Amino acid sequence: MAEKTYQVIVRGRFAPLGDAQRAALLARADEHDVFQAKFTEEGTVTYERSLLGFTFRCLVPATREEAEAVVIGRAEALAATAVAELGAGHRDLTSVSTDLDDIKIRHRARS
């Protein structure tokens, strides 16, 4: 039972790409534009046409006892799977996570 939710951003680089992989990624680049990015449990991959790197955004449910490292590990595994489904490999993953309970929302005072 999830008691917390983390918002995780995983950044990485594509493993060396062959011509066919590069062509396939470029053909779908508009679907993976940064404006398509959403934080969901499935996650979304975005990348630029330069194909240097990618960003994966996701929500990871966790129990209160689970360490942040476990959450990041899950997010990185999701990112690796998502990139593999695009037909590419990955390397150099780095991640940051935010516990959504820690986000403070400041409401503007009405005038």
Return the structure tokens found at 106: 């400041």
Least trusted range by pLDDT, from 10-14, 23-27, 82-86, 99-103: 99-103
pLDDT reported for residue 104: 66
Phi, psi values for residue 104, rounded to 5°: -100, 130
Mean pLDDT of the chain: 91
Per-residue pLDDT tens digits for 50-102 = 999 999 999 999 998 888 899 999 999 999 999 999 999 999 999 999 988 77
Q: 75 is written with which tokens? A: 């997010």
**DSSP label of 57:** E
Pairing of strands 4-14, 44-47: unpaired
Beta pairing class for 4-14 and 90-99? antiparallel
- Please tell me the predicted confidence (pLDDT) of residue 92: 95
- Whether residue 60 contacts residue 6, with contact meaning beta carbons closer than 8 Å, is answered with yes
- Asked whether the whole model's pTM tops 0.95, one would answer no
